[in-house]
Amino acid sequence: MAEYALITGASSGLGKEFAWIHAQNGHNLVLVARRESLLNDLASDIKTKYKVDILVLSFDLSRPNSPQEIFEKVTSAGINVNYLINNAGFGIGNSFLNSDLESNSNMVEVNIQALIKLTHLFGQSMIKNRTGRVLLVGSVASFMPGPYMATYFASKNFVLAFGQALQEEWKNTGVTITTLCPGPTETDFFEAAGMASSKISKLMPLPSAQKVANYGYKAMIKGKTTAIYGFANQLQAFFSRITPTFILVKAVAWITQKSS
Ligand SMILES: NC(=O)c1ccc[n+]([C@@H]2O[C@H](COP(=O)([O-])OP(=O)(O)OC[C@H]3O[C@@H](n4cnc5c(N)ncnc54)[C@H](OP(=O)(O)O)[C@@H]3O)[C@@H](O)[C@H]2O)c1
């Protein structure tokens, strides 16, 4: 039976690349994001190159019921999800009190709640069938607190801890869960976060979304627990674990603060 990959945030950046990689590997796709026209364009581009079935689902993951409704649509289409790619996410580049409360709550809903709900809903049948792969998209932000992006960094801390815990719970089940931790990557992320002029996006040349997604895909297939993209990000993750927090927060603040 043909395998299916469900990818959230497939309308741009890493999610779009995950869609191409899965199609290249012969997997049928369920593409989820809000911008339906981008998903439809992607689906028709992929179909010109690969013979795969694609279901496009336009959903706003900041709506608490979206994951359940996605699950119902997928189940009623007779689709069994073998690969769950929890990729959708966004950040806000601003000091906490100057950032909109509703946007912060929506971020928690998209970056954390939707990821928990989709993993719970689709994880059940994976465990029952004793096969499946889950990929969570964390960040180097998963390893540290992030002044001026406080909710975002905290949400990615959650993602990593959640993934590492489930990998232990699911040992010997045939199902694995991998957390991909990219550093700054060439996508629409910084634009969407209102950080196009920040130091983060200018520190060094950014890797392409294709390279990072490919790295994450391979790590997921191998069933790795954590996959930090790139040596510089691996060093950053290592030093963030041994650096006293009062120094770490100052270093991160220097990077996340908007350049004037
Ligand atoms: N780029 C980086 O530097 C970087 C570094 C580390 C981690 N990450 C993580 O990588 C993941 C992918 O981001 P990206 O870099 O590829 O950025 P991106 O190009 O801005 O893509 C974000 C994706 O998330 C979707 N999304 C955002 N809000 C949504 C909502 N309410 N409902 C449904 N989908 C929503 C967007 O689709 P719609 O707008 O169409 O809904 C889009 O497809 C995120 O989890 C991000 O935190 C990125």
pLDDT in tens, the chain (260 residues): 789 999 999 999 999 999 999 999 999 999 999 999 999 999 999 999 999 999 999 999 999 999 999 999 999 999 999 999 999 999 999 999 999 999 999 999 999 999 999 999 999 999 999 999 999 999 999 999 999 999 999 999 999 999 999 999 999 999 999 999 999 999 999 999 998 877 777 777 899 999 999 999 999 999 999 999 999 999 999 999 999 999 999 999 998 886 43
Distance 111 CA to ligand 1 centre (A): 9
Q: What are phi and psi of 91, to 5 degrees?
A: -125, 170
For strand 81-86 and strand 226-228, is the pairing parallel, antiparallel, or unpaired?
Answer: unpaired
Read off the pLDDT of residues 70-81 as tens digits, 9 standing for 90 and up: 999 999 999 999
Tokens of 127: 């465990």
User: Can you give the pLDDT at residue 260?
Assistant: 31
Q: Tell me the CATH number at 165.
A: 3.40.50.720
User: Can you give the pLDDT at residue 243?
Assistant: 97
Q: Which of 7, 42, 63, 87 to mutate to test the pocket of ligand 1 (most atoms within 8 A of CB)?
A: 87
Q: How many domains in the chain?
A: 1
Are the beta carbons of 23 and 52 closer than 8 angstroms?
A: yes
Determine the structural domain holding residue 67 and report its residue range: 4-256
Q: Which of 12, 30, 57, 58 to mutate to test the pocket of ligand 1 (most atoms within 8 A of CB)?
A: 12
Are the beta carbons of 115 and 109 closer than 8 angstroms?
A: no
Ligand 1: residues within 6 Å at CB?
9-15, 33-35, 60-62, 87-90, 110, 137, 139, 182, 184-185, 187-189, 192
Are the beta carbons of 43 and 110 closer than 8 angstroms?
A: no
d(CA 242, CA 84): 33
User: Can you give the pLDDT at residue 205?
Assistant: 87
Ligand 1, residue 88: give the atom nearest the CA: 24
Q: Which residue lies with its CA nearest to atom 36 of ligand 1?
A: 9
Tokens of 167: 């990998």
d(CA 7, CA 16): 9
User: Can you give the pLDDT at residue 258?
Assistant: 62
d(CA 100, CA 91): 12
Q: What residues are annotated to the active site?
A: 152, 156
Distance 110 CA to ligand 1 centre (A): 9
Q: Which residue lies with its CA nearest to atom 41 of ligand 1?
A: 34
Distance 259 CA to ligand 1 centre (A): 23
Q: Which of 30, 86, 137 to mutate to test the pocket of ligand 1 (most atoms within 8 A of CB)?
A: 137
Read off the pLDDT of residues 123-178 as tens digits, 9 standing for 90 and up: 999 999 999 999 999 999 999 999 999 999 999 999 999 999 999 999 999 999 99
